[in-house]
Amino acid sequence: MKGMMCLFHLMQVLVLLNWGASAFDEETSNQSLAETCGNPVEVSSHNAWGQEAKKGQNPWQVILQLPGKRACGGTLVSNNLVLTAAHCVARVNASSVTITLGAYSITGNPDGEVSVPVEKILIFHRYNNSDSPVDVAIVGLSWNVNFTDFILPACLPTPSTEFLPGHNCKVTEWGQSELHSTNPKPVTLQEVEVQLISVEQCKSFYSQATNNSNITDDMICATDIHGGRGACKGDKGAPLVCMEGKQWYLVGIMTSGYGCGTGFPGVYISVPAMEKWFPESFISNRGSTRTSSAVEGIHWIFFTLYLCWMTLSTPINSIMLGVATRVQL
């Protein structure tokens, strides 16, 4: 009888072991992503505005190909999710959007590029709030992509990671370099070093602008270190990334209607301010300090195995085994 009970509990242990292994695989995958993200093979240099980035310096940069030959920038943040500006994809069917990963040239550069159709689009619920609009959208890819030297996600900021005014960052895009410019847009990806400034300082730059009141605490501003220029037409959805340690973090998403003039900073939606809204499964590339559920499961597995062995010795341990296994399950 004791042998049958032990066999029964051993079967329960095998179920727990299978669950624990699955949880461990998921955690290992998340840990790997947290270590891989924001770490390109091609090291970035400090560019004055208008200089092109090297291919592979910004492997998280994507192009959203939209209906009507429109396009927006975006940022890969996992193997199947992209962050962009909501106004780029509002009222657009997901099936009509294609994302080019490993994007570098708008004329097409097949080497290292992968085009993936979009499966779903999730727009932040405050996008249509006229008092405090939030221009953010999550775009889900139709399948998981493989990471390469040219395709790699940017990291999402951790709760303990702060990017304060004075922090040097960079923005990448294909937009015009000057306001009202009649020159053709750059063909290859442009990169510039910028510096974060406070929201209060940002508002003072736009103190004469009619849309000054729309700069909120959900936004972050940055000014071009080499010329004070903001972002221009064609920059929408562009990523603002900042380095911490040896990894690049997505800190802002270029919104519309600001910048593109000497002395005016670029205005971005603050990604750290939005993370409280992101689904838990969305932020797997920022790591976690919580105790692993897989580790907890393994502890219970060894405890149950121990009691299973002990149940062959005494009746009281047999009772303990039954109670312990029922509690775990």
pLDDT, tens digit, 9 for 90 and up, residues 150-170: 999 999 998 788 899 999 999
Six token digits for residue 92? 């657009």
The pLDDT assigned to 323 comes to: 41
* H helix runs in 58-189, sequence order: 86-89
Q: How far is CA 70 from CA 51, 66, 89, 92, in A?
A: 24, 5, 10, 12
Q: Is residue 40 part of a domain?
A: no
pLDDT digits (tens, 9 = 90+) for 58-103: 999 999 999 887 889 999 999 999 999 998 998 899 999 999 999 8
Same domain membership, residue 301 and residue 214: no
Identify the CA nearest to 32 among candidates 147, 113, 150.
147
Same domain membership, residue 29 and residue 85: no
Same domain membership, residue 126 and residue 212: yes
Same domain membership, residue 134 and residue 24: no
Same domain membership, residue 147 and residue 264: yes
Q: Is residue 47 part of a domain?
A: no
Q: CB of 137 within 8 A of CB of 156? A: no
Whole-angstrom distance, CA of residue 134 vs CA of residue 270: 9
Q: Looking at residues 307-322, what average pLDDT do you find? A: 50
Q: CB of 169 within 8 A of CB of 221? A: no
Query: pTM for this structure?
Result: 0.73
Looking at per-residue pLDDT, the higher value among 155 and 183 belongs to 155
Q: CB of 77 within 8 A of CB of 156? A: yes
Q: Is residue 44 part of a domain?
A: no
Same domain membership, residue 228 and residue 102: yes
Same domain membership, residue 260 and residue 124: yes
Q: Is residue 49 part of a domain?
A: no
Q: Looking at residues 121-139, what average pLDDT do you find? A: 76
Same domain membership, residue 141 and residue 252: yes
Range of the domain at 305: 2-35+290-328
pLDDT digits (tens, 9 = 90+) for 229-279: 555 555 689 999 999 988 999 999 998 656 565 667 888 999 988 877 776
SS3 category, 265: coil
Q: How many domains does the chain have?
A: 2
Same domain membership, residue 114 and residue 228: yes
Same domain membership, residue 282 and residue 324: no
Same domain membership, residue 277 and residue 185: yes
Same domain membership, residue 158 and residue 98: yes
- Residue 310 — pLDDT band, cuts 50, 70, 90? low
